Amino acid sequence: MSRSYFHLHLVSDSTGETLINVGRAAAAQYEGISAIEHVYPLVRSGPQLERVISEIKAAPGLVLYTLVGGDLGERLETACRETGSPCLSVLQPVHALLQSYLGAQTTARPGAQHMLNAEYFKRIDAMNFTLAHDDGNLPDDLEEADVILLGVSRTSKTPTSIYLANRGLKTTNLPLVPGVPLPPALEAAKRPLIVGLFASPERIVQIRQNRLLSLNADESTLYVDREAVADEITSSRRLFTRNRWPTIDVTRRSIEETAAAILDLYRDHRLKFIAV
């Protein structure tokens, strides 16, 4: 199936993360069509906007923007009408709904969601903790973690941990390796939510083979043997069941979907922990 492409211009007075997420989520719904992204972050002055407009004129397409200060949004929309490029303020409908509901006027603050507040520093602290405790490192202070992820090699523990850290959760991940005992501190851990990750043997073998290929390593090893991998996964699931740890099958889940499921589990876990 041949693919078609269109230019997607994302103009932001902040980092552009909101626009990127919205644009990709919407474009993903159209099979066989891909967006050529043009991202313009930190657009807060007339000269900066003029450079953006010149690029839109050179490659007309769809324009999404989040410009909350001054008349930059109006100037962008005028230029887009002249070039025939559909243009939409992504936040304007949300602002209008909030204003109607709250009965209050907005205060234009570009990048306000990225202010250096307590939540921001909480995420930084969680990220530092998570990176220091990746792949079984520093196992003696597991009680300080918010979440502990367990799973055999290639069950997306590290990227899931980093995603959770970006949401403010201190996350430790421990690999389950045949013949290697788990750290004693795990049994004593009461505060953290412990989650077991697993996937189908076929999926694990495929990922491990790709990993070995990228390293130019020998593939004649139990690491990618289908029966050996199946035994690893079976043993891990028995461990999870024995300890009554919640589990997530990551075979067909994205990192975001896995993290969302863990966040739901964590909310319930914290309520129970606080109630005790």
Q: Which domains does the chain have, with CATH numbers?
A: 4-113 (3.40.50), 118-275 (3.40.50)
Confidence band of 69 (pLDDT split at 50, 70, 90): low
pLDDT in tens, 237-272: 999 999 999 999 999 999 999 999 999 999 999 887
Q: Mean pLDDT across the stretch 212-241?
A: 92
The label of the residue with tokens 């243009």 reads 87
Report whether 179 belongs to an annotated binding site: no
- Per-residue pLDDT at 86: 96
The percent helix, strand, coil of the chain (3-state, each to 5) is: 50, 15, 30
Q: What is the pTM of this model?
A: 0.70
Structure tokens at 89: 């303020």
CB 233 within 8 A of CB 199: yes
CA distance 50 to 57: 11
Q: Answer yes or no: is pLDDT of 274 > 70.
A: no
Report whether 18 belongs to an annotated binding site: no
pLDDT in tens, 109-150: 665 555 556 777 888 999 999 999 999 999 989 999 999 999
Q: Answer yes or no: is pLDDT of 180 > 60.
A: yes
Report whether 45 belongs to an annotated binding site: no
Q: Answer yes or no: is pLDDT of 108 > 70.
A: no
Report whether 156 belongs to an annotated binding site: yes
Report whether 151 belongs to an annotated binding site: yes
Report whether 155 belongs to an annotated binding site: yes
Report whether 196 belongs to an annotated binding site: no
CB 196 within 8 A of CB 247: yes
Q: Mean pLDDT across the stretch 215-225?
A: 86
Report whether 152 belongs to an annotated binding site: yes
C-beta atoms surrounding 112 within 10 Å = 10
Spell out where 55-212 has E strands: 62-66, 87-89, 147-151, 171-175, 193-198
